[in-house]
Amino acid sequence: MEKQPHLLLWKAVFVLIMIGLGFGIYAGSKSIDYTWRWERIPQYIINTEATTVRSPFDGSATIEKGNKLVVTSDYGDDPLVIEKFDNLLVSNGDLVFEGDPLVEVENWNIGPLTWGLVMTLQLSVVSLVFAVVIGLFAGLARISTNPALRYLSVTYIELIRGTPLLVQIFIFYFFIGTVLDLDRFTAGVAALSVFTGAYIAEIVRSGIQSISPGQMEAARSLGMNYVQAMVNVILPQAFKRTLPPMAGQFINLIKDSSLVSVISITDLTKAGREVVSSTFAPFEVWFAVALMYLVLTGALSWAIQRLEKRLSASD
């Protein structure tokens, strides 16, 4: 590649365009009189809520060394010992009556957006595992010499790639889910893995076919059977070659998982919708949701790039 002149200039242009974009968003929201309320968002990711611990009996409070509150009962009950608290509401030697507040403890609560993120992660990981298994077998069947296997695989791939995922999710949930009595999560995972599996099958097929036939011949001539040759020689090479398209497919899977919110799975997208209806801060929520998806997909691309680097030792 030829070296681009004025490198610094073009970097500056990039920065300017990004600033322009940011300003555009700001101006856009100004023009519709939108008030940003970012402070409402964090509580939906993680919130801290204080709960008050009250005395179960009449007695007296003592504060021992190391910030330990001991309440001894007037009636011979076992003393109450509280070692961890955030706010102390009594002082040393106070008399307390049953029901008096003693301390406040701050609870860390995971907010609905984080729960949504966890659900999206679960959906994606479980679907990914199944999709890879399905895709591997469908891809191998696709290049099999057995016509039954080949036609089955072609039919599967064409059916799935020819219909929208949203429709497949409905079919899995309302038809297959009803027939087989699947819960939402299982139906969602099934739809996502069957859908992604079809694309992975094509990636696997092209990956295997890109390996020179001489590799299979060399392996077989050394006495390996078909499965041994596939597992030890062909697939490791195909795996390395298919990593970039696989990464793309995995990232698509994470994003496609947002569609299962239509069957009432509370994933990140559905959580976003719910939070919007209680905060009335749609812009902030959707930006936050987008950012959380980006964290997932970014982490995945990063991990796969690391793996690619490690595998490139033999290049």
Partner 1 sequence: MTNMTDKSIIQARNIEKIYSNGCHALKNVSLDINRGEVVVIIGPSGSGKSTFLRTLNQLESISDGSIHIDEVSLTDRKTNINKVREEVGMVFQSFNLFPHKTALGNVVLSPMKVKKKARTVAEQEGRELLKKVGLAERMNNYPSHLSGGQQQRVAIARALAMHPKIMLFDEPTSALDPEMVGEVLDVMKSLASDGMTMVVVTHEMGFAREVADRVVFMEDGELVFEESPERFFSSDNPRLQRFLGQVL
Binding site for partner 1 (CB under 8 A): 212, 214-215, 217-225, 228, 232-233, 236-237, 240, 311, 313-315
Cβ at position 145, least distance to partner 1 in Å: 12
Q: Is 146 helix (H, G, I), strand (E, B) or coil?
A: coil
Cβ at position 212, least distance to partner 1 in Å: 8
Nearer to partner 1, 39 or 315 (CB): 315
Nearer to partner 1, 35 or 312 (CB): 312
Cβ at position 210, least distance to partner 1 in Å: 12
> Which of 158, 236, 162 has the alpha carbon at shortest distance from 202?
158
Terminal CA-to-CA distance of the chain, rounded, Å?
21
Cβ at position 19, least distance to partner 1 in Å: 45
Cβ at position 207, least distance to partner 1 in Å: 13
> Which of 251, 224, 249, 250 has the alpha carbon at shortest distance from 235?
224
CB contact at 8 A, 57 and 72: no
Cα 153–155–159 angle (5° rounding)? Answer: 120
CB contact at 8 A, 81 and 59: no
Nearer to partner 1, 107 or 212 (CB): 212
Nearer to partner 1, 125 or 231 (CB): 231
Contacts of 262 (CB under 8 A, 6+ apart): 166, 169, 170
Nearer to partner 1, 105 or 311 (CB): 311
